[in-house]
Chain A
Amino acid sequence: MRLDAKIPAGPLAQKWDRHRFELKLVNPANKRKYDIIVVGTGLAGASASASLAELGYNVKTFCIHDSPRRAHSIAAQGGINAAKNYPNDGDSIWRLFYDTVKGGDFRAREANVYRLAQVSNLIIDQCVAQGVPFAREYGGLLANRSFGGAQLSRTFYARGQTGQQLLLGAYSALMRQVATGKVRMFPRREMLDLVLINGQARGIVARNLVSGEIERHEGHAVVLCTGGYGNVYYLSTNAKACNVTATFRAYKHGACFGNPCFTQIHPTCIPVHGTYQSKLTLMSESLRNDGRVWVPKTPGDKRKPSQIPEAERDYFLERKYPSFGNLVPRDVASRNAKEQCDQDKGVGDTGLAVYLDFADAIQRDSRAVIEKKYGNLFQMYEKITGEDPYETPMMIYPAVHYTMGGLWVDYNLMSTIDGLFVLGEANFSDHGANRLGASALMQGLADGYFVIPYTIGGYLAGSRFTEVSTDHSAFGDSVKQVQERVAKLLAARGRRTVDDFHRELGLVMWDHCGMARTNDGLKTARSRIQALRAEFWENVRVPGAEHDFNQSLEKAGRVADFLEFAELMILDALARQESCGGHFNEAYQTEENEAKRDDAHFCHAAAWEFTGDGKDPVLNKEPLVFENVHLTQRSYK
């Protein structure tokens, strides 16, 4: 397959303007003739649905929850970046662009990232106008704070609930369009297949999660905003319903999957404490503004933190990276925590944790100031662990948090299937091999508010469509396949639960395709996943009925897809014989144990093409061309 990223010509700063001018337009009266299907209602899906409906398109929006407001964007804590330069500390669109490309270890497309930085300021304007209660200074103007991977303050925030407030802003815009009738909302639906007619994405097949009915929905384009696949690891900071099914089904119809092995392990999460554990909880990266990360200098030191004197503590991030200190990017912070624990300096019952200590900040700024900044996070920590972080240091450990990989898209955010657009975390586009903090919210909203409204018009105006209805045989074939799969899951009647399989898959992935990877480990993981997948279809037990509200059946379908998808991640990790960002192959590291890229051979985006069940997928490569930034070894020292 030939990948055409459709990057506009011309100087970087003018590409987006020029492209918007060159895109064909759909005139206002014709917009109502087009139906657009949006799957997912997180930041990307809600903002896209509302913005497209405002333009006059007929939008059908689907979500797996009872309400579109529940999407997992809601859990983002820390903030959203923008190049407003309000603090007058030297920020600019160029600097935000540069930091993001560098933070992603030079594995993202320049043109996309530059556009993201350009529209970042518009997002803040839009959200403020919607009534998002961002933090403000005494003078009434917007406040900023700093985040990992940047040496200035460009992050806007609403306490520790920024994702919630931004999502509720987008959700309220969506609800307004539901009231006008321009958006038809389909909650409690799970997309189980994509329908292609004449090579174009023309609809979806979805399960009604209350009645179990398999429904058909047609449209002129399909926009997937279905989030990331971090739950392939079972334990992650993702919400329980997050899954890969929608994007994986699209992959099976010919949408290439980009960089699936690029996953982000977030350094500041509450450590694992038991086998029954169902998920991990993130402690916002913003805590690293005031918290100091340390471990005891002596391996095996089991004293309480209060009994370890200052001289016997190793503030390893401050020591190794004096200019960024505790604010190094996430991949660097995570790997360093793992390194300390591997040297038996880890703390807590399991030895898999490091301290995040606020004692100095409380002494410097007072408890009240710290409480105002992080009160809800401290409270959450105390609820989960039963320990008071004002009195004793928090314990943190890295956990799977975000997936930079996703469906490959061109500059228009269209996948390798005509009419299938992919937004937000579900696509692979902007974060390269590592995402900087406060950039996920920026990307989800950029895609939904300020990119798709233009690019989808270009596609619709430039394409020919035949009249189709849901009676078309392509819908019939798809429904039949979906029903057969559901029947097969229910018929296995084996001896292991879905969660049991999922947990085992998660452990294999964490051990071999997590923070550090080796070729042997990846190969072992591949054969274990194949064996586990074979066992799953023989031995899984899915109780309940097809035509009913059946949560076990929902989970089973998702885990079945994870069991196939995991192998794709392994293949991608094996194919990329270098280290970059979150992908760390132990064979490729600098003398100081940093990720060592191989730009001569791997300066590309990997785009995996499905070739049939049981066959290896084909690897297509999109070369990444850097005309504006110079590729360097990242340094945060």
Chain B
Amino acid sequence: MSKPIHLTLKIWRQNGPDDRGRFEIYPAKNISTDMSFLEMLDVVNEQLTLEGQEPIAFEHDCREGICGTCGTMVNGRAHGQLKGTTLCQLHMRHFSDGDTLVIEPFRARAYPVIKDLVVDRSALDRMIQTGGYISVNTGSAPEANTLPVPQDRAERAMDAAACIGCGACVASCPNASAMLFVSAKVSQLALLPHGRPEAARRALSMVRAMDACGFGNCSNHRECEKTCPKEISIINIARLNREYFKAVFLSQGNY
């Protein structure tokens, strides 16, 4: 059994995209160190509700680190300080009694604030729509073992495919670049023989969509890799760059 801790929360409140927003301070008392970060916010919200105030809006769903819905900045770090961890899997045993936590939404030009800690990340879907798939209609697939995939390539594809689309990479990048996100999808599909026919088109169109959505470019800060809760490597960005340049040269200007 753990000893409860007392914290001070400095939380960003914003009524909507047009509101200027401000920090407000809330105490979080008697927090069990076995709680998850989101359970700590639940406790604060229950209290606010009973006091007649509006609870803090924050997004979450599976609470087991896979759906990619949750995520805020905690003391300037997306998903908090623990490496390879989503906010829902960050537990209060990593904080100390008396700590002050600054909690803000993910910030990027492409992520307008909806309310408090909730932002609109639909730009990530829009980039996938431009090419983050293999064009295969239901029913037309050949027998699954027709194309063997070397185990190490399948493993590397899986490493990239582990992306949960939380968008923390963008929030932690000084350029608000979505390169890690885009490169994870491009890599997964480029590494598999099934994805090769569209590899060039995919790289070109997804990079173009990234620019159009208002994300910045990569200048090798590596903050994305450090923050990524699934520890997606920037090796994928190098692979995206190779795929992209290869596509540009081979397309002979028709891109």
Contacts and interface: CB of A to CB of B under 8 A. Distances in A.
A240 B63 contact: yes
A510 to B, nearest CB: 18
B218 to A, nearest CB: 23
Interface string B123-142: 01100111011111111111
Interface string B180-224: 000000001100101100000000000000000000000000000
B102 interface: no
Contacts of B53: 543
Nearest to B157: A133
Interface residues of B, number: 78
Contacts of B67: 65, 70, 72, 74-75, 239
A91 to B, nearest CB: 15
Interface string A449-475: 110010000000000000000000000
A371 to B, nearest CB: 13
A111 interface: no
Nearest to A135: B154
Contacts of B155: 133
Contacts of A140: 148-151, 154
Nearest to B192: A131
A139 B148 contact: yes
A274 interface: yes
Interface string B64-94: 1111110000000000000011000101010
Contacts of B57: 549, 551
Nearest to B136: A129
Interface stretch (A46-54, A101-109, A217-225, A629-637): A46-54
A214 interface: no
B130 A179 contact: yes
Interface string A148-188: 00000000001101001100100111011011000001010
B32 A276 contact: yes
A136 interface: yes
A620 interface: no
A481 interface: no
Interface stretch (A294-302, A379-387, A434-442): A379-387
A104 to B, nearest CB: 26
A289 interface: no
A591 interface: no
Nearest to A237: B64
Contacts of B150: 136, 140
Interface string B160-195: 011011000000000000000000000011001011
A376 to B, nearest CB: 9
Contacts of A210: 114
Contacts of A115: none
B125 A136 contact: no
Interface string A66-77: 111110101100
A130 B133 contact: yes
A383 B158 CA distance: 22
A414 to B, nearest CB: 20
A179 B154 contact: no
Interface stretch (A277-285, A394-402, A592-600): A277-285
B43 interface: yes
A210 B130 CA distance: 25
A30 to B, nearest CB: 19
A126 B46 contact: no
A75 B122 contact: no
Given A543-B53, A549-B115, A384 B91 contact: yes
Interface in A456-505: 495, 497, 499-500
A355 interface: no
Nearest to A121: B144
B134 A172 contact: yes
Nearest to B149: A140
A274 B142 contact: no
Contacts of A173: 133, 136, 138
Contacts of B188: 131, 133
Nearest to A138: B151
B65 A380 contact: yes
A176 B144 CA distance: 22
A29 interface: no
B145 interface: yes
Contact of B54 (A51, A86, A543): A543
B132 A141 contact: no
A165 to B, nearest CB: 6
Given A135-B154, A172-B128, A278-B39, A50 B138 contact: yes
Interface string B25-56: 00000001011101100110010111011110
Interface string B92-136: 010000000000000000000011001011101100111011111
Contacts of B141: 122, 125-126, 128-130
Contacts of A50: 138
Nearest to A163: B66
A384 B91 CA distance: 7
A619 interface: no
A552 interface: yes
Contacts of A310: none
A137 interface: yes
B129 A176 contact: yes
B144 A128 contact: yes
Contacts of B130: 179
A273 B63 contact: no
Contacts of A122: 139, 141
A69 B151 CA distance: 27
Given A133-B154, A380-B64, A380-B89, A552 B49 contact: yes
Interface in A42-92: 47, 50-51, 54, 65-70, 72, 74-75, 84, 86
Contact of A124 (B93, B140, B144, B162): B144
A51 B138 contact: yes
Given A140-B150, A178-B129, A239-B63, A69 B85 contact: no
A165 B161 contact: yes
A129 B114 contact: no
Contact of A281 (B64, B122, B194): B64
A541 interface: yes
B158 A133 contact: yes
Contacts of B148: 136, 139-141
Given A164-B66, A172-B134, 4 more contacts: A70-B68, A122-B141, A449-B138, A551-B57
9 contacts: A66-B69, A70-B62, A70-B68, A140-B149, A159-B158, A168-B161, A176-B129, A384-B89, A543-B53
Q: Which 7 A-B pairs have the closest CB atoms?
A: A140-B148, A129-B141, A172-B133, A133-B158, A51-B138, A125-B141, A133-B157
